[in-house]
Structure 1
Amino acid sequence: MSEPVKESAPGGEPAGPPGAEPDGSASDAADRPPPGTAEEEGAAGRFWSRRRVPAGLLALVVAAGAGLLLFDIASVRAGRPAMRWRRSLADELASRPLDDVWVSAGAAAAVLVGAWLVVLAVTPGLRNLLPMRRRADATGVRAGLDRDAAELVLRDRAVAVSGVQSVRVRVRRSRVAVRAESHFRELEEVRSDLHTALGDGIRELGLARRPALSVRVRRPARKG
């Protein structure tokens, strides 16, 4: 797995240490730098998924249903009786009341399928692909960073901090959540070092939208 190309970034921002909680864990801290200019941030939209599988399945179902219905209508126009399934369906729709269980279940299923298709149509998808900054001299090129790769890079930075025994990193579009355990050193010192190291790491990822940083450090749970 290739790591993202590192770009020059300003030095780490100082972070004031928050107060410790009663259970001995350091409280959450958020690093939300002020937005820069359009050239600095390199505004870039999210990648849109092609969604070939849902589109293909929907097209196949619609084509099969339309073809079967047109064949039956053509048969009726030619003087042959309608298919049994269409006569049965027409009789059921004419005789069943609207508050029937099967009618309500069919309507609910149709609403759910329609809502699912609308959501697929208006949302980008590809949540695991984070858009990166766009350079002014590369207008025709778009770059993205896999979310798992970003988590691996930041985790490597976190475990390199002195005092960190284990760490868990979760990267989202708007927030990077870090949960670490420290077996020695003061929790506030470890949290401050993690905040600085991961803040630099997030900047060097080159993401179009820099996520906020949340760091929480605690002691390992005692066994026995």
Structure 2
Amino acid sequence: MIRRPRRSLPAILSALALLAAAVLVATSAIQMLAGQRPFISYDAVAETLNRARWDDWGVAVAGGVAAALGLVLLLSAALPGSATVVPLDDDRDGLDSGASRRGLRTTLRAAAAEVDGVRSARLAVRRDVVTATVRTDRVRGEGLRDAVHAALERRLEEISLAARPALQVRVRSTRSRA
């Protein structure tokens, strides 16, 4: 079970652009049917586009922007995003289960914060690596890195992920070494 994020932002932006174009066309059509002067004159737009040449800068820039935007939308639809659910080990019972990245990060942060000497902990959960940055008030952080690493290893054993990520622990001291 690996759930991927939805592509809602590109879909929303595309829908809003199409909605804006549809509103402009509908407004102009309604104004023309009502016998009023249209907000955007069809004749003026058609005349401007008919005068445009393929080698004009405006046409080249508009084409480049449209191509780049289309490529970005195509890549955002085709490339997979980072998994929002990390699969858990199935224990041979056939159940398909997972843990959210946010929940995994929270429980690992709590495990790191329980270590004696850790003032605060920040964690980044990526596909293959969990990076923990812990802050301490100790002047010397010897042994703290190993203690945090061991606490995170124990918590990962309890969680039983399907693919075990590598652990990186960084210790930052807030006191000066003077």
TM-score exceeds 0.5 = yes
Between the two proteins, what is the percent identity of the paired residues?
31
1:26 aligned residue: none
1:92 to 37, 43, 48: 48
CA 1:64 to 1:178, structure 2 compared with 1: closer, same or farther past 3 Å?
Answer: closer
Q: CA RMSD in A?
A: 3.7
CA 1:214 to 1:96, structure 2 compared with 1: closer, same or farther past 3 Å?
Answer: same
Q: Which amino acid aligns with 2:68?
A: L
After TM superposition, the score normalised by the length of structure 1 is: 0.57
Deviations for 1:45-87, whole angstroms, at most 9, x for unmatched residues? Answer: x313443564466468669979x69xx9xxxxxxxxxxx8554
CA 1:65 to 1:119, structure 2 compared with 1: closer, same or farther past 3 Å?
Answer: same
Q: Gaps spanning 5+ residues in structure 2: where? A: 30-39
Tell me how far apart the structure 2 counterparts of residues 49 and 167 of structure 1 sit (CA, whole Å).
26
**How many Å apart are 1:165 and its aligned residue?**
2.3
2:113 aligned residue: 159
2:37 aligned residue: none
Tell me how far apart the structure 2 counterparts of residues 123 and 116 of structure 1 sit (CA, whole Å).
10
Looking at secondary structure, tell me which structure has more helix per residue: 2
Alignment of 1:3-82 (within 5 A): 44=1, 46-51=2-7, 54-55=10-11, 58=14
Partner SS, residue 119 of structure 2: strand
Greater relative contact order structure (CA < 8 Å, 6+ sep): 1
Tell me how far apart the structure 2 counterparts of residues 99 and 187 of structure 1 sit (CA, whole Å).
65
CA 1:208 to 1:91, structure 2 compared with 1: closer, same or farther past 3 Å?
Answer: farther
**How many Å apart are 1:166 and its aligned residue?**
2.4
Alignment of 1:190-201 (within 5 A): 190-201=144-155
**How many Å apart are 1:189 and its aligned residue?**
0.8
Partner SS, residue 162 of structure 1: coil
* Corresponding residue pairs, total: 166
